[in-house]
Structure 1
């Protein structure tokens, strides 16, 4: 059997499904047998990541570790976690396993740096923004970036939560005006830094100015799967 990719998911369920669909879409397969084996854990009861970061809510770490142990036991050799905010705990998760564990924040920022992308806005949960998960790397690389103001960030967060509650159209209608506002102040690129945002903006998926962190993570994982070893 080919090397197995493990998805530590459920944060949220639609984002996990989106990651699986992107693995299929990006794999150069001509039949079932040429596709990459994937084991996905979707545990939606993992405590809210943003609430933990912002207000000291229950940490999701223990339940993420429990999901990681299942993926290990099932034979996964590479872990991806299609939740940007959950990468606040990435170092603790990575240090707890010997399995190759990819970092979607690092992979996405590497794309931005390598392609000379500039003038980017970060569309993400308030937890991801407040934790500075993208900002710290972008600052280090002297990339010009914009953080939505408090009103815009509130709308972005509302859009994410509305989507999670099942209202896809309302989520889209909330998010699009914020993107237009940011374009009007000179933003040229948008990091989809929450794994629900690519799903919310799915109808706009052909827009070249969108940098889909989930897609970048998946492409990296696929490239890993074709290597003889575990390092890329």
Structure 2
């Protein structure tokens, strides 16, 4: 064995190494690598599905005005796909709420000061998650409404695409109608043939199969008078990528981008108020 180089050892260990206690937390089991970490501004409750959670983190970075790494928003992504199917739960399947609340607690314990959930159907349990969270939780559908306003669309018929549960239970309709919009939705048969087919293709990593059914639904809703179409499931922006959207005559509001922009707006406001500095 060769002699160790003191300078290299200090670099490996870092200046705080002597004060860092590593190992699993006795209650949570979370492994702490550095107990002095100040936490992140944003907690992302992802995994529903996992590609949508990763896409949200990517779009958040892409949309953030930044010149260097340090200009981006400090975030922790919990991309846990073990949450039971939200649509199945509305038909008597396993309740996802305990998993959602566990994720909320994890993000709170990670020091998050704001939480974003890039899954529309999970917002059926929004009130329970808000009640359980110490940090404020953004509402993805309110973010979509803000995006419509940003685009100058303040009235008219909005075509809705999403999971069967999201549309059947009126999650989007309640919010949009409260803001003065009319809603146009696919029939049950069209939902299965277009939206559900596209969403399941994305969840199965078959992106090449997701575009055509989603595109057919956009054109169908446009033919019924929609002035804009809401991609109200976070798999759908992956089915119709940004470079294909100019092919359509109707604008689309993308729930991934809308939520990311809401996070950025909130971060900038908190930054201006001096509320984003590490504790």
Q: Same fold (TM over 0.5)?
A: yes
Contact 1:2–1:36 at 8 Å: present in 2 too? no
Larger Rg: 2
Match of 1:143 in 2: 181
Which of 141-150 and 4-13 deviates more? 141-150
Q: Provide, for residues 49-102 of structure 1, a one-character-per-residue CA deviation record: whole Å limited to 9, x for no partner.
A: 00111x111111111111111111111110000000000000000011120111
Q: Does 1:211 align with 2:248?
A: no
Q: Provide, for residues 116-169 of structure 1, a one-character-per-residue CA deviation record: whole Å limited to 9, x for no partner.
A: 142210000001011211111222233122011122111211110122112111
Q: Could you say if the C-alpha distance between residues 2 and 48 of structure 1 is closer, same or farther in structure 2, counting changes exceeding 3 Å?
A: closer
Match of 2:30 in 1: none
Q: Does 1:84 align with 2:124?
A: no
Match of 2:53 in 1: 16
Q: Distance in 2 between matches of 1:187 and 1:194?
A: 18
Once superposed, which parts of structure 1, at least 4 consecutive aligned residues long, lie more than 4 Å away?
Answer: 205-208
Q: Provide, for residues 20-64 of structure 1, a one-character-per-residue CA deviation record: whole Å limited to 9, x for no partner.
A: 0111111111111111111000110100000111x1111111111
1:46-195 correspondence runs (5 A): 46-53=83-90, 55-112=91-148, 115=152, 116-155=154-193, 156-195=195-234
Q: Distance in 2 between matches of 1:2 and 1:224?
A: 17
Residue 189 of structure 1 and its aligned partner are, at CA, apart by: 0.7
Contact 2:120–2:141 at 8 Å: present in 1 too? yes
Match of 2:16 in 1: none
Q: Distance in 2 between matches of 1:126 and 1:80?
A: 22
Which structure 2 residue ranges, 5 or more long, are not aligned?
A: 1-37
Q: Distance in 2 between matches of 1:119 and 1:100?
A: 31
Residue 205 of structure 1 and its aligned partner are, at CA, apart by: 4.3
Residue 2 of structure 1 and its aligned partner are, at CA, apart by: 8.9
Residue 107 of structure 1 and its aligned partner are, at CA, apart by: 2.1
* Higher relative contact order, chain-length normalized (CA < 8 Å, sep 6+): 1
Residue 3 of structure 1 and its aligned partner are, at CA, apart by: 5.6
Paired residue secondary structure (1:22): helix
Q: Distance in 2 between matches of 1:3 and 1:170?
A: 37
Which structure 1 residue ranges, 5 or more long, are not aligned?
A: none
Which of 218-227 and 41-50 deviates more? 218-227
Match of 1:41 in 2: 78
Q: CA RMSD in A?
A: 1.8
Match of 2:263 in 1: 221
Contact 2:157–2:181 at 8 Å: present in 1 too? yes
Alignment: residue pair count:
229
Q: Distance in 1 between matches of 2:106 and 2:89?
A: 23
Contact 1:2–1:225 at 8 Å: present in 2 too? no
TM-score by length of 1: 0.92
